[in-house]
Amino acid sequence: MAPLTIQQATKSFGEVQVLHGIDISIDDGEFVVLVGPSGCGKSTLLRLIAGLEDISTGSILIDGRDISRSHPKDRDIAMVFQSYALYPHMTVAENMGFSLRMRGATMDEQHRKVHEAAGILDLEPLLDRYPRQLSGGQRQRVAMGRAIVRDPKVFLFDEPLSNLDAKLRVQMRAEIRSLHKSLETTIVYVTHDQIEAMTMADKIVVMRGGYVEQIGSPMAVYDAPANVFVAGFIGSPA
């Protein structure tokens, strides 16, 4: 786990600026939820943090170290996406071990980390199955397993539950919360679902049009929205 600081981060695609002077401080082990309407820049911000897009100006620090120009592999960050494509021809264990193998881990180390993560996620009975033999929720857990095995300092989630049905979504929310507790990890979690934000977050960041509108605890944002936009957004049905 690690503190994560985003300082005056901007991002432009060609002439179009999609992120404007983003300042966010995230404490060690904090669960931060980014919310805001579609197109406001949530995914782009996560991709900057992960290094999947280059930052235009500003910086991103983990544990005080500026990682904003480091290679994604050197950032100690793992990202879980909405479309968590698993490798269809690999078993659950192989899917989970793959990134370790690519990083040159020994077979022993791969085995140990995969089993450790499988224990946390209740995936042990499924390690020899193939993705097509899994339910949607189980696949989502394998996607999280792939991130956990790398033991990252920071986890990024981009709307990980939006492809799941309502019942499973409620269950997975609880699982991700308990994962956060057991790993004591720092999490930045993107959703457009206000209920998800209110129930999961230590801290909520409300974005609009590439700007941060408000940062606060769920209660603070709920009780004292900073402006009409935040009030309307938080108050609207998911």
Binding site for ligand ADP (CB under 6 A): 13, 18, 36, 38-44
Cβ 201 to ligand ADP, closest distance in Å? Answer: 17
Judge contact between 52 and 78, C-beta under 8 A. Answer: no
Nearest-angstrom CA–CA distance, 149 and 153: 12
38 binds, among ligand ADP, Mg ion, none (CB under 5 to 8 A by kind): ligand ADP
Nearest-angstrom CA–CA distance, 91 and 176: 23
DSSP assignments along 195-225, one per residue:
HHHHHH-SEEEEEETTEEEEEE-HHHHHHS-
| Binding of Mg ion by 44 (CB under 5 A) | no
Cβ 42 to Mg ion, closest distance in Å? Answer: 5
44 binds, among ligand ADP, Mg ion, none (CB under 5 to 8 A by kind): ligand ADP
Single-letter residue type at 141? R
Nearest-angstrom CA–CA distance, 68 and 75: 9
140 binds, among ligand ADP, Mg ion, none (CB under 5 to 8 A by kind): none
Residue among 55 and 117 whose Cβ is closer to ligand ADP: 55
> Which of 26, 34, 43, 176 is close enough to bind Mg ion by CB under 5 A?
43
Residue among 13 and 87 whose Cβ is closer to ligand ADP: 13
CA distances from 217 to 171, 207, 212 (A): 23, 15, 14
| Binding of Mg ion by 68 (CB under 5 A) | no
Cβ 46 to ligand ADP, closest distance in Å? Answer: 8
Burial class from Cβ neighbours inside 10 Å (0-12, 13-18, 19+) for residue 236 reads exposed
The window from 39-47, 66-74, 193-201, 227-235 that contacts Mg ion (CB under 5 A) reads: 39-47
Instruction: Note the residues at the interface with Mg ion (CB under 5 A).
Output: 43
